[in-house]
Amino acid sequence: MKPAYRDRITAAIRAFADLDGRSHPDADHLRAAFLRSSHVYVIGRDTGFGAAQEVALKIKETCAIHAEAFSGSEVLHGPLQLATRPLLVLMLDTGQPSIQESLDLAETRFRQTPATVLRLRTEDVGVAGLSPAAAAAILLYLVYPVILSTAVALGHDPDRPATLSKVTATT
Q: State pLDDT tens for residues 39-67.
A: 999 999 999 999 999 999 999 999 999 99
Domain 3-18+33-153: CATH superfamily, name plus number: Glucose-6-phosphate isomerase like protein; domain 1 (3.40.50.10490)
Amino acid 4: pLDDT: 83
pTM (2 decimals)?
0.84
> In this model, does residue 144 exceed pLDDT 70?
yes
Residue 79 to residue 100: CA distance in whole angstroms:
20
Residue 128 to residue 95: CA distance in whole angstroms:
8
> In this model, does residue 2 exceed pLDDT 90?
no
Contact 104, 111 (CB under 8 A): no
Residue 137 to residue 49: CA distance in whole angstroms:
12
Start-end of H helices in the chain:
3-19, 27-36, 47-63, 97-111, 132-153
Q: Which residues are paired to 113 by β-bridges?
A: none
Which of the pair, 1 or 125, is modelled with greater confidence? 125
Burial class of residue 112, CB neighbours in 10 A (0-12, 13-18, 19+) = exposed
Residue 42 to residue 67: CA distance in whole angstroms:
7
